Structure formats: structure tokens, C-alpha cells
Chains A and B, each alone.
Chain A
Amino acid sequence: MFTDVQAEIAAALLSTATPVPAAIKGAARGRAERRFAVYRNTVAASLIEALAARFPVVARLVGADFFRAMARAYVAKEPPRSPLLFQYGESFPAFITGFAPAAPLPYLADVARLEFARGLAYHAADADPLAASAFAALDKGRLAEFAVRLHPSVFIVSSDHPIFSIWLAHQSQSVLPISHRAAESALVARPFLDVETRRLAPGTDTFLTALKSGSTIGEAVAAGAHASSSFNAAEALATLIGANIAIGLGT
């Protein structure tokens, strides 16, 4: 039955150690190796290419050969589970964390998280951001009671490493040395045409994450202050308004 043949092909596609399925003409006489290799190569190469397009800064950080080898190992271990390739790679950061040859670059997985978030933001649903005047019109005394609906393209990536600085340094042809060495968190959003990436002040990542999960502004401010002693509520609100990431307000 074809079910069995397909299962054999599927297994052999992801593992070069598995022989060419016997159902293929010439396989028994060893005459289908190069023919079957066309499929193996296309599967691996196209998925590696999809990851390279998705994680360009990770690829620059480790170099093309290293990236290809790492991506090949990932593809073999965790092939896509959906035909929507722009969703492929969600578990790539976790894979990088466990990938021994990448251990000397402890920030690599978090840079991958940032890049995956950018891809999600690119394809996220459209929505119109609130104008700053919508906030200005609010009764200041009741501000803390409001919950904020964030744009569907909003993602917050926090790290113990300077991931925003690393990412930014690789946006131009020549990579400049980074001066910032501390932990960084980043906001990724696509309020208008393009995906925007910005560094968040300490605690503001926690503040926005709380808003995203439905907290009121008051609760989010408390969470931000709890997360960082240098959290500044006014600055956090300015980021919320200035980044154009709010699409609704409610109590």
C-alpha cells in the first residue's frame, strides 16, 4: 500500500543513514541513490534556507557554514509541523540553547527569539493604533483602572544579554562593536507598514507583558516596579503611547 511506501520515503528523506525505499525503481540495485538524493537535498536545502531567511542575524553571528550545519541538525530533529513556513522555527531558539557547539555564544538563542518575534509581527493581523489624543482624553485619576488592548503584532523579548544592541549592530553591512553589555529587552511591533524593533527600559518589558496578558495599567505599573528598581512608570507609559502599539482602551 502507498501508506507504507510514503512512510518509508518520509523516514528516508530526513535521514541519509536510512536506505532508499525499496519501492523505488532501481533501489535494490543501488541505482536510485542520486535520484532519491534530489528529494533529500531539496527538503533539507529549502528548509535550511527558510531558517536562514528567518534568522539572518543568527546566521551572521555564527557564519554561513556553522549556521547551515546547525539548521540541518534542527531540521532533522524538528521538521516543520505546518505548511506555513513563516511559523517554522519557533523551537529553534530552544534547540540552539541545547546545541553544544553554540555554547560559547550564550546570547545566540535570545537573538533567535528576537528574530522569530519579528517574523511573527510581519505576518500578524492588521489593526489601527490609537492616536495619542485617546490617552490625553482619559481622566488622569482613573488611568490605573484601564486595560489596554495591544496591537496583534506586539511581542516582548527579554534577555540576560544585550540582544537589542547585538541585533542592531548587525543591521548594517559593517558590524560595529557594541558598548552595551547589560541585559536588554526589546519590543517588536508592526503598528503601520514596517516591523519596528526598539530597546525597552528595565521593567518596561514586564509592564508591557502584563498589559498584553490583560492587566490594567495600575497592575502593570506595579509589576514593572516589582521587576526593576529603576522602573519609571511615566517612561513606560510614554513608550506605550509613542510606539503606537495600543489599539483599544477599556475598564
Chain B
Amino acid sequence: MTPYNETLASLDAASVGVGFKPEHMEDALAGGHGLSFFEVHAENYMGEGGPPHRQLAELRARYPLSLHGVALSIGGAGPLDREHLARLKRLIDRYEPALFSEHLAWSTHEGVYFNDLLPLPYNENTLAQVCVHIDEVQETLGRTMLLENPSTYVAFEESTMSEVEFLRAIAKRTGCGLLLDVNNVYVSAVNHGFEPMAYLDAFPVEHVGEIHLAGFAEDRDDLDAPLLIDAHGTPVSDVVWLLYRRTLARIGPRPTLIEWDNDVPPFAVLASEAARGQAAMADEIRRRERHAHELRCRDLPATFAPRYSGRLHVHGCAS
């Protein structure tokens, strides 16, 4: 099985992409937008033929793809839907996406599909069940997958582990990678009253193969406290950009995706959101190079240490 960091080889760590929408096809193919990849929801391409496949094939001929499943129900109590998993395998064999990801959530119960990412308690029982499911997915697909942290609105009496502990244990047991959705971290942090930075500091960053960013909506809970909804219908909020920069500072560049699924704006708006991500990524790369440069030059007499040149690639200590 290909480890996720090798799968990643086809996608540069500093890649920024957006979720693909059919209405953006022309703009996406026209180029000049600086995007490195596109992500699609797997279930939208599980028909036999027609315009969806024609578009996806055309897109794939020009850009790497990230395939994002929303209906595998990995967090469900029942067995995985083998038919669905087989469809997923056919799609992956056909389009050879650089990344494949799914959610720590469930969406099907006894054959009924709810079309939502539903929550599960975090304890030894559910951990074992999720790991069995991920093992089956990875064995069937012959590749490692990324598992995404969810946004949640309720918590469970029977949870005995934190979400971060739960995800860390899954990655360790199954060898899967993780998709870190920074917006989901913030949404859940507000909804459950924890510190988003503490969550990110504890997150097993060595397993992160992709980052998601999106916008949230605001509502109120039963006690009239803020309740954030993972709505994917607005720009990424400033606080999430801040958390994203802190995340990059901790783990370094990772393929980053802007999600916008409802009230989809013109392509230019999505591209400008992606440009913000690219700017954050470039800043982090510069910061790391400056830091590496300073380490290399530490032994030199202070008068020989040049000022930071501002260029992206700084190799020598004296200019």
C-alpha cells in the first residue's frame, strides 16, 4: 500500500486548490488562476456516463484531482456498503486522484441515507469499529486514505476520549493520513467550548496530508450561546485564516483546499480566496527559509550575516 506521503508526491505540498463546481468549468480550464488542483465529491461522479464524466475527464487531463467522499459512513455502527466501496474503487482507478479523503462521521443507517455527516461518540468501541472500516477501505482501494475531522453540534455522554486522541489512535492503528479541516476545528471549538489552538497544538500533524478551509454560519444554541454551522456558503473567516497560519507555522506547507458548496460565487471569488491561502503558504515558506538561513549563519561573525534578502530561495550566507 502506498503511504500517503508518497501519494502526495504527485501534489506539491504548497498546492492550493478549490472545490470544483460544474458552472466553473470554463474558468477552471482557461487557466491563469494559479490553482494547483481541484477537489470533487466522489458521489457526484458515480453515474455511468454523461456530462459529469466528460467534464471530470477534461479537468483531470489538465490538473491533479482530490477525490472527497461524503457517503461511505465510516463512522457508522453497521458494516460498510460494499457496493458503494466498489463504485469508489472504479472511480479511483479511472481518474487516479492524487488524494482520496472521507469523513469521521456516518450518513447511512440500515440502508437509509441521510445526506449529512452525522456524529459519533469517541470511545474504545467506536474506535475499534472505525479502524475496521478504514482497514477495509484501504485494503479495497489499495491506497491510504485521509480521514477528516468533523464539525459537530452535539456531544455524547458515552465519549471517553477527545476527538484529537481518537483521530491520533486511528492514524496510528490504520496508517491512514488525516485531513485537517481548520474551519471544522473552529466550529466545534465554539460549539463545545474548547480552545481551537489547543486542539491544533495537540493534533497529530505528522499525519496531515491535506487542509480544508471554508466559511461558517452563525446560529444560537438552547442557552442562547453562539452555535456555529459548517455551512460552506461564505468566505473563510478571519479567525480561521489566523488559525490556518498558525497551523502552517507548526506543520509547514500542506495541500490546501477552499470549500464553497452553497450559494456558490463566481469563480473569481473562489480564486481570490485561494490566493489568500497561497499568500499564507508563501509567507510560511519564506519564514522557514529565513529560519534555516539564520541557523546556518549562526556560527558566522555577526557582521557577516546578511539581512534577509526577501527572495524565496536563500542559499548562501553572504550575498
A residues within 8 Å of B by Cβ?
Answer: 1-3, 5-7, 9-10, 13, 22-26, 30-36, 38-39, 42-43, 46-47, 50, 79-86, 121-126, 152-153, 190, 193
Contacts and interface: CB of A to CB of B under 8 A. Distances in A.
Contact of B77 (A3, A26, A35, A190): A3
B21 to A, nearest CB: 14
12 contacts: A2-B129, A6-B109, A26-B154, A26-B222, A31-B223, A32-B154, A34-B222, A35-B154, A38-B227, A39-B154, A85-B43, A122-B50
Contacts of B54: 193
Contacts of B215: none
Interface in B207-253: 219-223, 227, 229
A24 B118 CA distance: 12
Contacts of A22: 157
Contacts of B52: 123
Interface of B: 43, 46-54, 70-71, 76-78, 81, 84, 106-116, 118, 120-121, 125-126, 129, 153-158, 191, 219-223, 227, 229
Given A35-B154, A81-B112, A124 B77 contact: no
A84 B43 contact: yes
Nearest to A46: B115
A246 B110 CA distance: 40
Given A34-B222, A43-B116, A126-B50, A10 B155 contact: no
B154 A36 contact: yes
A50 B113 CA distance: 13
Contacts of A10: 109-110, 112, 114
A160 B126 CA distance: 54
B131 to A, nearest CB: 14
Nearest to A80: B113
Contacts of A84: 43, 46-47
B154 A24 contact: yes
B112 A38 contact: no
Given A81-B113, A83-B113, A33 B158 contact: no
Contact of B113 (A9, A82, A193): A82
Contacts of A80: 112-113, 115
Given A81-B113, A83-B43, A152 B48 contact: yes
Given A2-B126, A34-B219, 6 more contacts: A6-B76, A26-B222, A81-B113, A83-B107, A126-B50, A152-B48
B125 A50 contact: no
Contacts of A83: 43, 70-71, 81, 84, 107-108, 113, 115
Contact of B47 (A23, A43, A123): A123
A124 B48 contact: yes
A3 B120 CA distance: 10
Given A1-B125, A5-B156, A24-B156, A85 B115 contact: yes
A192 to B, nearest CB: 11
Contacts of A38: 153, 219, 227, 229
Nearest to A13: B114
Nearest 6 A/B pairs, CB to CB: A123-B47, A83-B71, A126-B49, A125-B48, A10-B109, A3-B77
Contacts of A86: 47
Nearest to A193: B51
A33 B76 CA distance: 23
With most chain B CB atoms within 10 A of its CB, the pick from A22, A26, A152 is A26
Contact of B109 (A7, A34, A47, A85): A7
Nearest to A126: B49
B229 to A, nearest CB: 6
B115 A124 contact: no
Contacts of B109: 6-7, 9-10
A25 B115 contact: no
A1 B46 CA distance: 33
A46 B111 contact: no
Given A32-B222, A126-B49, A152-B48, A50 B115 contact: yes
A47 to B, nearest CB: 6
B135 to A, nearest CB: 18
A5 B155 CA distance: 12
B121 A81 contact: no
A79 B52 CA distance: 25
